[in-house]
């Protein structure tokens, strides 16, 4: 994908404008990876959180161990593990999906804690009322607990999304050509690393600031009482 692009390294201005289009292509990959990873993290995290709350200890204990393990080991090594070991078991995924899966797994461990905190923060009277109304376990979660937990969960989730966006450059080590991977590649060809890296850094900074501002507004817009799922 580098073919067809020319860069002009005479001054930093021309250099920046000539590499900006290709870096922006990288930006879309970065955002896609973060979106895919975050989707995995949201679903898997909820599963982890519910399994961990299980009363059956054979389920809750191993889940706790897995979550702790995922939380306390580096994303980079987890990524290498998935990238090199999954094919040994016959699971061959494209690098992008492996990367999204690695991001998703690591952040599932974080989001499961957020879910757990959010669920536990719902007053126990709500559980009692649900029992008194003869709601099933499933109904209680779906109609009572999770709708009230959402406003508490969303801000923390948003923070993790921002954190995840900033960790996507790690995917470049397994050949995913996102922003950082492209910037390094341009650097290798021109021997001028500073401009592309600064550009990528500034784009990250801008992204983070925009996301934080958006989050702040979202947090204010959320109804405190809860969001019905149906």
Partner 1 sequence: MDWTAYLPMLWQGAVVTMTITLASIAVGTVLAFFFGILRVEGGPILSAIALCYTEVFRGTSLFVQLFWFYYALPLVGLSFDPITTGILVLAAHAGGYGAEIVRGALTSVSTQQLEAARALNFSRFQTLFRISLPQAVVEMMPAFGNLAIETLKLSSLVSLISIADLTFAAQSIRNITLDSASIYSITLLCYFAMSLVLMVAIRVIEHFVRRGDVFPRTRH
Binding site for partner 1 (CB under 8 A): 69, 71-78, 80-81, 84-85, 88, 166-170, 172-173, 180, 184, 187, 193-194, 197-198, 200-202, 204-205, 208-209
Q: How far is the CB of 190 from partner 1 (least distance, A)?
A: 12
Q: How far is the CB of 92 from partner 1 (least distance, A)?
A: 14
Q: How far is the CB of 107 from partner 1 (least distance, A)?
A: 13
Q: How far is the CB of 146 from partner 1 (least distance, A)?
A: 26
Please answer whether residues 36 and 102 qualify as being in contact, where contact means their C-beta atoms are separated by less than 8 angstroms.
no
Closer residue to partner 1, CB minimum distance, 135 or 185: 185
Distance CA 103, CA 40 (A): 8
Closer residue to partner 1, CB minimum distance, 81 or 127: 81
Distance CA 161, CA 34 (A): 7
Given its phi and psi angles, is residue 4 left (phi above 0), alpha (psi -120 to 50 degrees) or beta?
left
DSSP letter (8 states) at residue 230: -
Closer residue to partner 1, CB minimum distance, 32 or 166: 166
Q: How far is the CB of 168 from partner 1 (least distance, A)?
A: 8
Distance CA 82, CA 92 (A): 10
Distance CA 175, CA 96 (A): 8
CA gyration radius, the chain: 21
């Amino acid at each position: 994908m580098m073919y067809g692009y020319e860069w002009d390294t005479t001054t930093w201005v021309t250099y920046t404008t000539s590499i900006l289009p290709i870096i922006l292509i990288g930006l879309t990959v970065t955002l896609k990876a973060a979106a895919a990873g975050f989707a995995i993290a949201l679903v898997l995290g909820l599963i982890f959180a519910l399994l961990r709350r299980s009363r059956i200890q054979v389920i809750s204990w191993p889940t706790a161990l897995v979550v702790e393990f995922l939380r306390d080991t580096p994303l980079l090594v987890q990524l290498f593990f998935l990238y090199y070991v999954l094919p040994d078991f016959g699971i061959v995924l494209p690098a992008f999906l492996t990367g999204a899966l690695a991001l998703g797994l690591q952040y599932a461990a974080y989001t499961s804690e957020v879910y757990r905190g959010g669920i536990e923060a719902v007053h126990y009277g709500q559980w009692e009322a649900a029992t008194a109304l003869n709601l099933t376990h499933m109904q209680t979660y779906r109609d009572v607990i999770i709708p009230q937990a959402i406003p508490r969960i969303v801000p923390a989730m948003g923070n993790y999304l921002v954190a995840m966006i900033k960790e996507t450059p790690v995917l470049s080590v397994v050949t995913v050509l996102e922003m950082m991977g492209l910037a390094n590649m341009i650097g290798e060809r021109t021997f001028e690393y500073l401009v592309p890296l600064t550009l990528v850094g500034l784009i990250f900074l801008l992204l983070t600031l925009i996301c934080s501002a958006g989050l702040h507004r979202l947090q204010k817009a959320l109804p405190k009482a809860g969001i019905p799922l149906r």
